[in-house]
Chains A and B, each alone.
Chain A
């Protein structure tokens, strides 16, 4: 069993949606994660609030955001256990952020730190 991180990239929902819509998204996200956890494949995860986000650049230049440059930024990630990258991709397909056009979930294997990966 390998561990994979599913990185969600999307717009700042707070800017485009009503509180009711945000509430509905949250429930969907909880159900999505709950479904993975019910298969004992959930490891950890967190949302990443957009406010107070900073980017530190070359020469220690600090800016707000990364929002100036890209529309879709990292809004959260979860780590899952999966037998293969295909299984991890199946988990990713259920992610509610994919309902938004242009949003993505990137699937990456986590290095085991065993000197091989």
Chain B
């Protein structure tokens, strides 16, 4: 029984204990907070199988965490007065009895940690790793799996990231109201990347990938629930995530290969999530600030109806036109050109595609291959071959080979 309960509690409680303790000790003692939270679960693992699962496991964990925090501070005081002094300085008197694990403080601490971790001075890769560890309670092995690397690399990356936080002396607090928009931008970027990491991850572990997306959505929803951070662009990002996540059940076949949008079984789409996305897109339309998330959610909204109508592709094209003005990315440029082919025809799109010159990008040659199909079969083949030689994953190479074979 405890074998199932403890992993579940770890996922929900590790991050809460870490956030509260870290806020209590100060950001420079983040690893101490993590250690205490980790040891708390170790205690549960050592105790519960013999003494039975306590009536209120969460409350038990909190009491143990508080005691461990108290011991930690006590030890440090004995071994090094210097550290204890620093602790007192950084948190305005870290009284161990005052570790506050109330619901309100847990919520606040987690949001404040989110702002601290997503501080603009911390590199993006480090932010995502820290977010997964501290805000989502992912194990090192899970993070390594998600990034297709080993535990050692992740440990090093997290170590560096904690150092960055310590050196930058980032306070764990809500940004001032005048700063919230700017700081929120950085937070949303990290959450967007976290979601993308799950959505586009090459990892074979489907459950893990969906977990990553679910966590990004949970954190985004926390921002919606908090009055200070419930701004239109947050709704827009959440809406975008809902629309994308609605296609999870239809995106991969039983072998784990990606099923392209036009080949997906639309009856597998999650219509509950689609209507949730539509609700938040409507919420996002208050105010006058148009963020990239508004535009991307708008595009994702049009993709939730599969019928190839002129209206759909005209709207998608114009949304991409606006998105590219706001923020260029190669993938947006390619998608814009695809929308152009749907709205204005292949020839016009080809003229534009040839100008993009994204010659190190296999999606670019895939797009050229698609556009030349039916216009110039030889060029279509050449471009698909070029795409295969540039594709990085077996799955992509396989999908492209099938397209090439279909041309022969």
Q: Which residues of A contact B (CB under 8 A)?
A: 27, 30-31, 33-35, 37-40, 42, 45
Contact = CB atoms under 8 A, between A and B. Distances in A.
A111 B292 CA distance: 30
Contacts of B320: 34
A21 B354 CA distance: 29
Given A33-B325, A34-B324, A34-B325, A40 B318 contact: no
Contacts of A38: 324, 328, 332-333, 336-337, 352, 355-356
B336 A39 contact: no
Contacts of A34: 317-318, 320-322, 324-325, 336
Given A38-B333, A39-B356, A31 B324 contact: no
Contacts, number: 45
Nearest to B348: A31
B30 interface: no
Nearest to A43: B325
Contact of B355 (A31, A33, A35): A35
B325 A35 contact: no
Contact of B318 (A27, A35, A37): A27
B328 A35 contact: no
A27 B322 CA distance: 12
B325 A42 contact: yes
A80 B219 CA distance: 38
A31 B336 CA distance: 10
Interface in B28-54: none
Contacts of B355: 35, 38-39
A38 B323 CA distance: 10
A78 to B, nearest CB: 9
Contacts of B337: 38
A27 B328 CA distance: 20
A42 B318 contact: no
B328 A33 contact: no
16 contacts: A30-B322, A33-B325, A34-B317, A35-B352, A35-B355, A37-B321, A37-B325, A38-B333, A38-B336, A38-B355, A39-B333, A39-B356, A39-B357, A40-B333, A42-B328, A45-B325
A40 B321 contact: no
Contact of A30 (B321, B328, B333): B321
